[in-house]
Structure 1
Amino acid sequence: MTGQRSDARRNRERILAAAEAEVAAHGADASLEQIARVVGVGSATVRRHFPTRRALLDAVFQERIGNLCERARRLGEAGDSRAALLDWLRDLVAYSVSARGLAEFLTYEPPTDAPASHSCGNALEAAGTPLLRQAIADGAVKPDVTFHDLLTLAVGIALATEHHGDPASQAERLFHLAVEGISPTPGPAAV
């Protein structure tokens, strides 16, 4: 952004603010044309700043994803790897439920060797993987669990509960059920 003119920077900021409001109201399918109308610019201006819907959504969710990543870093310093991982996943589920459009945005196939095109997903993976690895090393999580399994679980819970009367409570209930299972065994349960 350093080389941008001040009016271009202001347009970008206004587009992003309008996009945040539209995504909050309409989810990941928010209309790019409506965003342009709200800001008072042409759709080409929106596309110049955000060439794809995914790039726009990535910018909308970037700060909040950054907070989740920082939370993972702090939790990684805790002594109980299972609790740290589950606390972080619970936060991811709760945020995915509360931030309309995020769960849909995070639905993607595991990355390939292609260049990174999903920076929020990549940031979450970079933040959550150390928590998962430590929990696996401590024997608190089965060794075949992957970060993508956990992301799919979190996204699935958020998508399954988004139209529920009380999505946050229902998501928490389903998260607990997924962690503890439908038939818990006595003693500490592994994820």
Structure 2
Amino acid sequence: MPGVDASYGISKFADNIGCLSPDLLSGTCQHILTYLQGKSSGVDSAEISDSFLSAGVSFDHDTLQNMIRFLLLTFRSAAKNNLSAKDLVARLEEGSSRWSKASLQVMHKLWSDQGALVHAQQEIQATLSIGQIVDIQWKLGMAVSADSCRSLNSPYVCLLLRTVDLSGQIWRRSFEMTIPQFQNFHKQFKEMAAVLETV
């Protein structure tokens, strides 16, 4: 299986995933499989973290992120190679002997039920390999302090973009623009939308 961080080790993933109850693992995998089937815009690690905390399971941020990436890459690789549930479990067992029986049963069941749907969606996405904007928020502000005096009392627009990359991770980007820059940005978005409607 493709590694997320080779130094982290597949046995460590097996141990951490083995700490999860079958229901918690199933819920976590379901988040990922829903994304891989194109039914959600990304994998929300904050929501997964909240479900872990509610169940009394606490992992540090990096451990949780690595676990999510590992599961994402595992399912994506299984879809790319069109693996059966039996083959998926066999590959996991080849990577480490420390997988719990319960974890492997959950993975087998979910992949038996949803593997074909993930495979079909991954083939479609392979032809449309682009990221996606999930949300845009903006607010109008007024600069009251700055390094240069001439920019004081100037209005500006602060944009917050949420995007999902090809790996499924949701990223937040924020930046500020002057009013003319924002108007130009808005004009370009309208032009792109008009072009996309003709496709």
Q: TM-score, normalization: structure 2?
A: 0.28
- Looking at CA atoms only, which structure, 1 or 2, has the larger radius of gyration? 2
Choose between structure 1 and 2: higher strand proportion.
2
Q: TM-score, normalization: structure 1?
A: 0.28
